[in-house]
Structures are given as C-alpha cells and as structure tokens.
Amino acid sequence: MASVAPLPVLEALTTAVLVIDTDSLVCYLNPATEALLEISAQRAHGQPLGELLPMGATLQAALLAAVEGSSTTLREIALERPGSETPLLLDCTVAPFTTWSGNGLVVVELARVDQLMRITREAWLQERQDALHEIVRALAHEIKNPLGGLRGAAQLLDRELPRRELREYTRIITHEADRLGGLVDRMTGSFRVLGREPFNLHAVLEHVRKLTLVEIPEGLVFERDYDPSIPELTGDREQMVQAVLNIVRNAVQAMAGRGVIALRTRVRHQFTLHNRRHRLAVEVWITDDGPGIDPAMIEKVFFPMVTGRADGTGLGLAIAQEAVNRHGGTIECVSRPGKTRFTLYLPVEGDA
C-alpha cells in the first residue's frame, strides 16, 4: 500500500483530511481527522475507508469518480457515533490526487456541518446580543443618573419633613429607587467582577442539583451522565452556579416541579467558540421533558425582559448567557414539547 509522508501543513490544518489509495485503504490522516473521527492515525492506517465512514452508494460512486479523475462533494453524510444519539453531519469532498512519484491517490476532506452552522448561528446571535446589550447599557445609564438624583432628593426631604408619619412616603421613594437601581444592575450584569479560579464543573452541577432538590423534594428526578475526563475549568464558580441554576429553575418551573432533568457533560475536541479554536472545550446538556418553550418566544428567550411567566422577570437566561459569555463560552437552546435542551459550551483554558 502507498504511504504518504505527513506534510506539516496538513498536520496543522484544522480541516479533516485523509488520503486513501485506489483500493480505498487509508494511507494518511491528519490530526484533525483523528479528533473528528476519534481514531488514532496508527489504528486507521491500512484500514478500508468503510471502517471509518459510512460507505453508502453515493460515497462509493464518489470514490470511483475520483479514481477516474473527477472530484465530488457529498453533503451531510450522517456518521453515527457510539454513545451519542445525534449523528455527526459531515460534508465530504472526494478528489483525485497524484503524488510526485506518479501514484494515483484519493484525498477525502471532511467538514462538520453542524459545527459550521453553529458557528454562523453563534455569530448571528452574538451580533444581536451585542446590539441589545448596547441598548440596555444606554438605557441603564439614562435610568440610573436621574435615579441617583431622585434618591438624594428624597433623603434631603426626609430630613426636612415636619411630621414623622410623612416619612413613610420618602421611604417608599428611596426603597423603589433602590429596587429599580438593583434591577438595572442585574440587567446590565455590571455588578460583579469575574473571578478567575479553577473550578470543577461537575461540582457546580451537583451543587445546583442538590439545591433544587432541597427546594423541590418530590416529583423531580435528575439523571446524570458526567464525563469523568473533563478537566477543571477556569473562571467564576459562583457565576457558573448562577447560570446553571437559572436554566434548571426554568425547567423546574416549566414542568411545574414534576419531571426528569438530565444533566450530561462531554469533552469536545478542536472546538470553535467566539471565533477562537480551542483544543478542548466542554459541552453541558441540561434537558427537561417539560412542555417546551413557546415557539413564538424561542428566538428571544435569552433577551432580558422576555418572559412567558406572569411573575417572571425575563432576566434568568440573559444573566446565564452573560455569565457563560464572560467565560468565553456560549449557550444554545432547542425545544419541542416533551424535550427542551440547553447546551452550554465552555472553553477549557490553559490550552490556547
């Protein structure tokens, strides 16, 4: 079988590339392919391509075409993975390739579609969120300044009041001004600085789980599926607790306290977040089997003041998103009746 010397440029590439000979045996695969297909180059070497990818009729036709000199791109090949309910969607380009020494080979390029879509969507959401953040910030500024004046004036008035019982009114003004100020602070998330310490993600999830079970001791079941290989994360443990708590509380409220919440963690390799590629990231699924998010609201749930509950503030998810963003991560959500899933992606620091 032909052997292909690893080219430094292919080794550094984040696109998955593998080379096969005309019998479809693997002669080379780059580290990005190893990460994507979760197989070592050593193990893959010499294997038929069909061992690594689902060898459907279209892929077979594409390989034949490549041997005959033309290239083909196959859209959205579904690669089932053990231990995962969602298949990996791959765009696959198969192209002929001749080595210096005249050997005919075939290059197979794999691109993750879901990840590409996710990155595009993430950028789009981020833009919307940034714009919204700008508005909230400007609005907060406009509210807080006069609020300070209002509060100061109420205090001065309080001292000048001739009758004690009138103070009740100035007390209400001060109290409401403080409440509004607190709300604005929470909306802008400007009230806390971000801690930067190592913390254990599973400890955060367990903390939230226990806290929730203390609040709702009956009717709620937590399922846990934690990936023990997840290293420590760096950041603000308290803020992460708050983020997870806000998501879990929503699930509990949506299910009216009865149902199953599944917590699942996984390590993700070569993962792009906010345009930065991380060697390691973690994925957290928080899934509930409640009624789901109102479809009319799903695009806006992370916005402040968006709520579907009569007594809601609409701040829970905005605060969660802000906290996760500040850790370089992101939150996503998919929902249908019976299954709502929030996915948190967080980079593992120290690998940049």
Using the rule CB under 5 A, which residue among 250, 270, 272, 330 binds Mg ion? 250
Binding mask 168-207 for Mg ion (x = CB under 5 A): ----------------------------------------
Grouping H, G, I as helix, E, B as strand and the rest as coil, residue 42 is helix
Contacts of 9 (CB under 8 A, 6+ apart): none
Q: Are 33 and 16 in contact (CB under 8 A)?
A: yes
Question: Nearest approach, Cβ of 319 to ligand ADP (angstroms)?
Answer: 8
User: What is the rounded CA–CA span in Å between residue 40 and residue 52?
Assistant: 11
User: What is the rounded CA–CA span in Å between residue 323 and residue 244?
Assistant: 10
Nearer to ligand ADP, 314 or 329 (CB): 314
Contacts of 75 (CB under 8 A, 6+ apart): 91, 113
Contacts of 13 (CB under 8 A, 6+ apart): 30, 32
Binding mask 263-302 for Mg ion (x = CB under 5 A): ----------------------------------------
Nearer to ligand ADP, 175 or 339 (CB): 339
Nearer to Mg ion, 22 or 307 (CB): 307
Question: Nearest approach, Cβ of 127 to Mg ion (angstroms)?
Answer: 24
Site for Mg ion in 314-333 (CB under 5 A): 316
Nearer to ligand ADP, 250 or 270 (CB): 250
Amino acid identity, position 331:
I
Question: Nearest approach, Cβ of 253 to Mg ion (angstroms)?
Answer: 7
Question: Nearest approach, Cβ of 125 to Mg ion (angstroms)?
Answer: 19
Nearer to Mg ion, 316 or 347 (CB): 316
Partner interacting with residue 17 (select from Mg ion, ligand ADP, none; CB below 5-8 Å by kind): none
Stretch that binds Mg ion, among 23-31, 127-135, 268-276, 312-320 (CB under 5 A): 312-320
Q: Are 110 and 91 in contact (CB under 8 A)?
A: yes
Stretch that binds Mg ion, among 66-74, 182-190, 222-230, 311-319 (CB under 5 A): 311-319
Partner interacting with residue 290 (select from ligand ADP, Mg ion, none; CB below 5-8 Å by kind): ligand ADP
Structure tokens of 95? 């192209």
Strand ranges inside the chain, DSSP E: 16-20, 26-29, 72-79, 88-98, 104-112, 197-199, 220-225, 233-235, 259-273, 276-288, 330-336, 339-347
Question: Nearest approach, Cβ of 69 to ligand ADP (angstroms)?
Answer: 53
Nearer to ligand ADP, 54 or 295 (CB): 295
Question: Nearest approach, Cβ of 137 to ligand ADP (angstroms)?
Answer: 18
Amino acid identity, position 270:
Q
Within 10 angstroms of residue 293's Cβ, the number of other Cβ atoms is: 21
Contacts of 50 (CB under 8 A, 6+ apart): 24
Interface residue list for ligand ADP (CB under 6 A):
246, 250-251, 254, 288, 290, 292-293, 301, 306-309, 312-318, 340
Structure tokens of 332? 């996503």
Binding site for Mg ion (CB under 5 A): 250, 316
